[in-house]
Copies of this chain bind each other. A is one copy, B any other.
Amino acid sequence: MTEKTYQHIKELLSEAGLKATHPRIAVLHELMLSDEHPSAEQLHDRVSRQYPSVSLGSVYRVLEKLVEADLVYQVATRGGSKRYDANLEQHCHIYSINTEEIQDYYDPELNELIKNYFHEKQVSNFKITDIKLQINGEKRDPKSKVTIV
Q: Interface residues, chain A, CB within 8 Å of chain B? A: 74-79, 82, 94-97, 110, 113-114, 117-118, 121-141, 144-149
Contacts and interface: CB of A to CB of B under 8 A. Distances in A.
Contacts of A140: 125-127
Contact of A149 (B74, B96, B122, B149): B122
A95 to B, nearest CB: 7
Nearest to A103: B126
B78 A82 contact: yes
A76 B134 contact: yes
Copies of the chain in the assembly: 2
A118 B110 CA distance: 10
Contacts of A96: 126
A76 to B, nearest CB: 4
Contact of A136 (B113, B125, B132): B132
A135 B127 contact: no
A113 to B, nearest CB: 6
Contact of A131 (B78, B118, B136): B136
